[in-house]
Amino acid sequence: MPSPATGNDAGLADPLLPRGDGTGRAGASSKNKYRYWVPAADDKEVLAAEERGGEDGRPLLYRTFKVRGILLHPYRLINLARLIVIIQFFIWRMRHRDSDSIALWWITVVGDFWFGVSWLLNQASKVNPIRRVPNLALLNQQFDPPGGGGGGSSSSQLPGVDVFINTVDPVDEPVLCTMNSVLSILATDYPVDRHATYFSDDGGSLVHYEALLETARFAALWAPFCRKHRVEPRAPESYFAATADGPYAGDAPGQFVDDRRHVRREYEEFRERLAALFTIIPQRSEAYERESTKRDGARATYMADGSHWPGTWMEPAENHKKGQHAAIVQVMLNHPGDEPQLGAPASSDSPLDLSAVDVRLPMLVYIAREKRPGYDHQKKAGAMNVQLRVSALLSNAPFIINFDGDHYINNSAAFRAAMCFMLDGRHGEDTAFVQFPQRFDDVDPTDRYCNHNRVFFDATALGLNGLQGPSYVGTGCMFRRAALYGADPPRWQPDDFSKLLDNPWRQFGNSMPFINSVPLATHQERPVAPPASLDGRLTAELTDVSTCAYEDGTEWGYGVGWVYNIATEDVVTGFRIHRKGWRSMYCAMEPDAFRGTAPINLTERLYQILRWSGGSLDMFFSRNCPLLAGRRLHPMQRVAYTNMTVYPISAAFIFVYDLLPLMWLSGAEFYIQKPFPTYVVYLFAGIAMMEVSGMVEIRWAGLTLLDWCRNEQFYMIGATGVYPAAVLHSLLRLVGLKGLPFKLTSKPQSASGGEAKERFAELYEVQWAPLLVPTVVVIAVNVAAIGAAAGRVATGGWSLAQIAGAAGGLLFNAWVLLLLYPFALGIMGRWSKRPYLLFVLLVAALAAIASAYVALLAVLAPGFVPPFRLGRWSGVGAIISPASWRF
């Protein structure tokens, strides 16, 4: 990719398309996606302010766009019309309390009311979608001009960034994937001396530690190669798996092919070394164990220097197992210093000519926090709070960006794009975090289980962007450190840090070096300047802030840092920050800023949804309930958070509706609401208007019809199996019980584009679990209902008028089955590679059920089923009566 543009007008040719090179160029498909967006009303004022240098001399580093009125006004009008229809529908139902079961009537009234409320909560946050586009060229001109050595010299004025990356298990989260994430960070396009990486290994594994050492060595070749040739993406696994390179953007085209070949060969050897760690470490430990004269019965895990590994051993032992080991903080790569360091020319030992390339690497730190029995270690939130304290003692950058171990930087200009919002002259000081969308590799082409979740990231998030900002979704998010410390935004409390330090030990714990670092976190101009060396005192301090007991009696996990005691610590942490009055921004780039892996197995995906939905309900029934927030939370932001936390409740009513087709199995007529035709008209009118609104929404959001269908389908899959479990979990928690255990999601084992068949193998694996049972029951009930209805029609049990009246119910059955189609494919396993088999199976099941239904009626109610003719067959002419059948 080309280097960041430096001209004043660069990046404005097509400002809706913020590419990694800052030029704003994009393909025709991307331009088509954004054709319904126009500059906001104040855009001319913004451009004029840019010419003056911004407000108060600060630059205006992003532009704002809104949806064209030709789509936005009809979208709002349709939603208003549907709201009127919903209100009229409830008025009509309350005036016509007539049903064959008044109890069921009340259930459906409450259910319809809840569906109306949840729809209104969902739509209310999307009436004013806003897209904000960073101006990378202007950022570079103002803070990192090319003459100053944008690669990382001391003249760069970009603020410091601390990068947090988290992982737990080198098997469930493949170590190669995690190390690719680290490599993409070390090679990203941001001043080398102004960002540091903190790697949290929450399992305390020696595999991760030695893999990080190998990664640091390989990065000495990989990062300079990326800078010299400006390649994208900068995760080698994804880069080498790409089928074709884009236009060359580096400074040495004649050397590119040879350099690439050499680096690829070195990368293959690097991969082999990582894979060999799982064999080398046990073999080494066994060899040292044989030589050791001190045996205590436990087989230790040894480091390369022959010392015991202080973390988790491969054979668990006291003080060396998961949940019980010492704290480890190790600086793998020291701070590189302020001045560029050019590499060596090509030689026999090093074929790459790096004589014009800065070969420095950013600071890299390994962290494994202490684990002790009897402590709740708070999973990912606890690990990130330790990273927050350790980083404050070393680099203390004013901004922090966090990644899951399976996410890598896909666009090396991502950090700069986030800075456009943090440093902007309008709302920069009041912006607490910038959230990027989640994008994934290794998802099947049809996105069967809606892993991309584009309706949320490309529609709902833009609606939230027009309010107080998007919610925090756990990864790919840049924070202002001060906001994580619990500070108020400047517009509400300009001198808030003085208030924070009134009782610092209660807030932050007893580490004076950490407390002294807190006020410095607001100084954006301060360079990242870690201590020159790790003396004994600083090492002891780093270990102390990584211990279990450090947080006892403090505000960590409540008013400071990431929030504890909830499965969705990401959403709650973002909510706590919004509740204080901070803003957030949404930033979508092309190419995507970050990419990761997602579970493509049905059961793993359902467990992921269970964790999210259960945590959301826990949030609603906690002190972080959006309804209890103060006046600093924007009213519509409160509505949006309420919708995010109560949506699983819909499952109770959806499950009842999905089982209503059981009434077709009875012999008598049954009506939920009378007059039934009017009821059906209201239902279909409301559903039709909702779908039309959805069609308009996918137009302005740039989505496809498949994106929208997958969203609808997986919502129904979740509502029939996962959300009921989430509701049960919350009910158990409310009465003081433990609730359901949440299973961590396993990641795909390969990220290589050359292993597509193996990669998608998990899509066709069937892992039976209790979560699958309710949805299987719903499918069986609806198939049985259609089959029974077909049997009644075949035997003449219904008149034409009754058939017409039942058509609406049968359409509902078919609609439910269509929405559950991905689930049905999932439980077919490898047979789902031939989807037509599912339809053959469905037809066979319907025929069998219809025949069984007719036969059952013939035995139990022979007078109910009239004779019917098979046809005018020559020599037969028979009339067969079911009453004459024998079993």
Is 141:420 a contact under the CB 8 Å cutoff?
Answer: no
DSSP letters, 441-470, are: ES--TT-TT--S-HHIIIIIHHHHHTTT-P
Query: Is 173 annotated as contributing to ligand binding?
Result: yes
Nearby residues of 176 by Cβ (< 8 Å), 6 or more positions away: 237, 271, 274, 275, 751
**Other Cβ atoms closer than 10 A to 736:** 6
Query: Is 202 annotated as contributing to ligand binding?
Result: yes
The one-letter code for the residue type at 213 is L
> Is 245 one of the catalytic residues?
no
Strand-strand pairing, 583-586 and 879-880: unpaired
> Is 42 one of the catalytic residues?
no
- The sign of the torsion formed by the CA atoms of 819, 824, 827, 833 equals negative
Strand-strand pairing, 328-333 and 363-368: antiparallel
Q: Rounded to whole angstroms, how far apart are CA atoms 419 and 403?
A: 17
Is 673:112 a contact under the CB 8 Å cutoff?
Answer: no
Q: Which of 62, 61, 70, 204 is nearest to 132 (CA)?
A: 62
Q: Which of 389, 284, 381 is nearest to 329 (CA)?
A: 389
Q: Rounded to whole angstroms, how far apart are CA atoms 272 and 49?
A: 55
3-state secondary structure of 868: strand
16 DSSP 8-state letter: T
3-state secondary structure of 290: helix
Whether the ω angle into residue 677 lies within 30 degrees of 0, i.e. cis, is: no
Q: Rounded to whole angstroms, how far apart are CA atoms 319 and 334?
A: 29
Question: How many residues are recorded in the chain?
Answer: 887
Q: Rounded to whole angstroms, how far apart are CA atoms 527 and 19?
A: 27
Compute φ and ψ for 320, nearest 5 degrees. Answer: -145, 55
550 DSSP 8-state letter: G
Which member of 424, 570, 658, 707 is catalytic?
570
Is 408:238 a contact under the CB 8 Å cutoff?
Answer: yes
Residue 81 in tokens: 């019309």
Residue in this structure with the two tokens 């689930």, named with its chain if needed: 823
Binding residues for Mn(2+): 380, 404
Binding residues: 173, 202, 379-380, 404
Active site positions, annotated: 202, 570
Binding residues for UDP-alpha-D-glucose: 173, 202, 379
